[in-house]
Amino acid sequence: MAQFSTVYPTPLERQFTRFYHPENHQYAHIHKNKSVTLLGLSPSHPAVKEGVTKVEFSKAASGNEALGKRKRNALGLRPDTLVCTITTVKGNEFRINACTNVDLVEINQRLASNPELVSKDPEGAGFICIGLTRLETDMERCFPGFKMGGAVMRYRQIEAEEALISSH
């Protein structure tokens, strides 16, 4: 009789391709349709390790209002566009730039009242913002310096399979 794994990948693992920027310790999770992009800090970022006490979005990002089906008036983010400033438990401040070429659709409003989400769940509820990739743009130009995060996904899959085997 065949045995089936009871460990299922999360929606993030199933629906998004993970890209990581090794120098800035940021991620861009791109949806399968290559349009919706989640931007945030990777677990290796110093701010995530220290613990976040405050997230203050830039005036341009917080005043952004993307409207309608095609998200008119969305702020065009570039790699050097400041999205927010993060303050840690130790008092260090980190200026978080977009590191990508996307249109800003939404900032994570929950971070204003609950900034520790960035430290507790950086690749889930602690994302910084959501952007839209223009479908006609080249992925290399849109995400300069990012590396595909397949090794991270494979590591988590092996870890989950080992946990399943050890529980039997």
Domains in the chain: boundaries: 15-167
Q: 59-73, 86-100, 152-166 — which one is most confidently predicted on average?
A: 86-100
Could you tell me which residue, 94 or 73, shows the higher pLDDT? 94
For residues 140 and 63, the model is more confident at 63
Q: Alpha-carbon distance 41 to 128, whole Å?
A: 7
Which pLDDT band holds residue 22 (cuts at 50, 70, 90)?
confident
Task: Report pLDDT for 11.
Answer: 80
Distance CA 91, CA 36 (A): 33
Going by C-alpha positions, the residue among 33, 131, 44, 125 that lies closest to residue 81 is 131
- Do 15 and 31 form a contact (C-beta atoms < 8 A)? yes
Instruction: Give the model's pLDDT for residue 121.
Output: 93
Kindly report the pTM of this predicted structure: 0.78
The predicted pLDDT at position 87 comes to 97
What digits encode the pLDDT tens for the residues 27-68?
Answer: 988 888 878 899 999 999 999 999 999 999 999 988 887 887
Indicate whether 167 pLDDT > 70: no
How far CA 98 is from CA of 26, 52, 136, 138, 155, in Å, comes to: 9, 18, 20, 17, 27
Percent share of the chain, pLDDT over 90: 43
Q: Is the dihedral of CA 109, 111, 113, 114 positive or negative?
A: positive
Task: Say which CATH class 15-167 falls into.
Answer: mainly beta
Rounded CA-CA distance 113/116 in Å is: 9
